[in-house]
Amino acid sequence: MPYSQPWMRQGQIALDNCVKHIAELKCMLQVRTDERDANLKLAQQTNELLQEVTRERTQLQTQMHEMQLEKESLQTEAHIARANAEKVTRELQEVTRVREQLTERLAATQTELKTAQIDAAGAKRALEAQSERFATMHATTMRAEAEKAAAEALTQRVEAERAAEVSAREATERAMEEERAANEAEAARAEEERKRRALCAVEVQDDTRELLEIEIAAARAAMMPSVGKGGKEAKPRPMRLDADGNVLTRFNDPEELLQYLEEGERGTKPLVTLLRASWLRAKMPETLPPDRSKLPAEAFISASELRKIYKQSKEKKRKLLPIITVLHPNSSPHAKGGPHPDAEGAIVQTVCEALDERWDQFTRKRGTGGDSGISELGVFFDWIAFGEGKSAAGAFGLFYAHELVTVWMIPEKKDALSKQFDYTGGWAAAEHRLATLLKSTSDLSGYSGPWPQLLDLSEDIDSEHNERIHRPSPSEPLAFRTRHEFGTAAYVEGEDEREVVTHMYRDALVEMFTCAQALTFNRLGWLDTDASRLALLLPLGSQVQELHLSFNSIGDQGLFLLAQRMTQMVQLKVLNLAGNQIGDPGASRLSGALTEATALQSSLFNLDLGQNNIGDKGALALAASVGGDTKMALRKLNLKGNPLSPAAKKGVTKALKKQAKGGAPAATGR
């Protein structure tokens, strides 16, 4: 057979190699073709980009040329105006010179006329010639008088223009003076309002006292049955606990917010819609419509997706809800039908810029420890979130006060020194107070969660200072009622709306304080007045185990008030007052509270008074109360950084050791 011949097999092998080489050449050709197509596409994109840049450059050059032409036109007009003014001046000078000449000539003519009259007996020809000369000179004089009148009219017109300019300048100065006066009046009014609010914040009115007595009795009844005001048994406040024994409320349980959103989608509650953060980043809308029905479906994020994202979060210490609430000066659920709260789009554009700048902080995609599990966020704009504001107003504050929600704030006013925010609208003021009440991540010591929960969008987006939000001391429960701290705040619908805000703030504040287990107010610059405002609410904290007020400016007077009300905190274990301005009087008053209050004796374990102004007198008073016959739970007392003598330090150590006998080892606070 011919196929069995060696030459035939060799030819087949050569043919197979040729086919193989042809296939490889085809592959190489295909690769080169793909590379050529990619390079052609890249070149086309580069040409298109170059053309776009060229068009923009041409437009800018055209604009610059037009501006240059306009500048040259204005310079030309100014030059012509100056030339006209100089010409008028020269003509006026010329007219004056001609007038003087004519005056001299008129005097000469009169002299000649007299001579002619004297020489009347002269020749008739000389008399006629003289008469003709006189007539010519008279005509010249008349013309000179006319030119003089025209010059005087021109002078009057110039003077009138100058007078009008002076009048306009004076009117401008008067307007500026009136504006300065109006600004001074507004500043004075704002200062009076600030003083009024500060006075209302310090004064405790009767209706506030009565409410606090009822709520404090209810908080105690939640722990054990007690007799309320008037001999009646106080109604206990129901409390829910999680698997770790922590108290759950509407404002710290993630399910409260997620279920509310889901029930709104099912129609059992008012629908609340949140915008998708990635849609805002992609579209960068100039503004948002006043009605959410005008937005596409892809602009919104569902409650089920938010729940899934929350469960996928990889944060171990503290998981925050993937929800951002925007607080702005025009915030209100009752604004439907009124002016658009963001007609110019400034709020939306600021939020979009912040989202774009801080996106990696949420997702941690680049260089921050790996994927956070957060792939999307829901953004709450009040005029988009609520379709019918009145039906959902009761839950409005939940989206600002919830401890796991992030709030981005745009202040109406901000004090340059204290950085305190101020809002004239009642809703915005209440939302600001609720948002800054218990979110401990907002103090100046930094945030402990995966991202800062409070952000100031009036600062530069890439600045760390907009993470340092000043938290005001808490206002009393009825602060938004008339004749109270925020009693003059503005509302769209008047007193009815004021009542809604009052109830919203009161209920939220009482529930949050009653169920809080830790209160953290470090590094906020608080003074004695701020401590007094907090002291008013401390008896509500029946569940509070830790109270942190370190590195503020609280002095003896503030500690007096805190110690007076702190005696009713039956579960307080940790009290941190380090880095304040407490002296011997304050330390002595605190030692008295420890001696008098059985609740503090049995609960307080750790007391930190380091870096204050406590001397030997205050330290020995504390040592006397701790080392007395009464058995106390106190095992840690920190007085480091105070001006103590060795004898005082020794006395404190001895008192702690005495108290620790038979119990846990003492931690001496020298």
Same domain, 138 and 22: yes
pLDDT at res. 278: 95
Structural domain includes residue 203: no
- For residue 637, being part of any structural domain is answered with yes
pLDDT single digits (tens) 58-81: 888 888 888 888 888 888 888 888
What's the pLDDT tens digit per position in 520-576? 998 888 999 999 999 999 999 888 999 999 999 999 999 999 998 888 888 999 999
Residue 412 structural domain? 239-469
Last residue of a domain, one of 409, 439, 469: 469
- Write the CATH number for 587: 3.80.10.10
Which helix (H) or strand (E) element contains residue 460? Answer: none
Please give the Cα distance from 494 to 3 (Å, whole number). Answer: 106
Same domain, 530 and 453: no
Q: Which segments of 203-227 does DSSP mark as H helices, in order?
A: 206-221
pLDDT at 407 over 60: yes
pLDDT, position 116: 67
pTM: 0.69
Claim to verify: residue 376 and residue 449 sit in the same structural domain = yes
468 vs 619, more confident? 619
pLDDT score, position 448: 64
436 plus 550 within the same structural domain? no
pLDDT digit string (tens) for 302-335?
999 999 999 988 877 778 999 999 999 998 876 5
| 478 neighbors 211 (Cβ within 8 angstroms) | yes
215-233 burial, b at 16+ Cβ within 10 Å, e below that, comes to bbbbbbbbeeeeebeeeee
The residue with tokens 């043919």 is 15
Asked if the structure places residue 17 within a domain, the reply is yes
Calpha distance 519→534 (Å, rounded):
10
Q: Which of 189-198, 362-371, 548-557, 654-663 has the lowest mean pLDDT?
A: 189-198
Residue at which a domain ends, from 435, 469, 503: 469
- 204 domain-assigned: no
CB burial class (10 A; 0-12, 13-18, 19+) of residue 410?
buried
Q: What percent of the chain has pLDDT over 70?
A: 86
Q: What's the rounded mean pLDDT across residues 588-602?
A: 86
Please indicate, yes or no, whether residues 173 and 298 belong to a single structural domain of this protein: no
Of 165, 197, 229, the position where a domain reaches its end is: 197
Judged on CB neighbours under 10 Å (0-12, 13-18, 19+), 616 is middle
In this structure, are 34 and 175 located in the same domain?
Answer: yes
pLDDT band for position 110 (50/70/90)? confident
Residue 613: which H helix or E strand, with range?
none
DSSP letters along 521-581, please? --SS---HHHHHHHHHHGGG-TT--EEE--SS---HHHHHHHHHHHTT-TT--EEE-TTS-
Grouping H, G, I as helix, E, B as strand and the rest as coil, residue 321 is: coil
Alpha-carbon gap, residue 601 to 197, rounded angstroms: 37
Give residue 182's pLDDT band: very low, low, confident or very high (50, 70, 90). confident
State how far Cα 205 lies from the chain centre: 31
Structural domains counted in the chain: 3
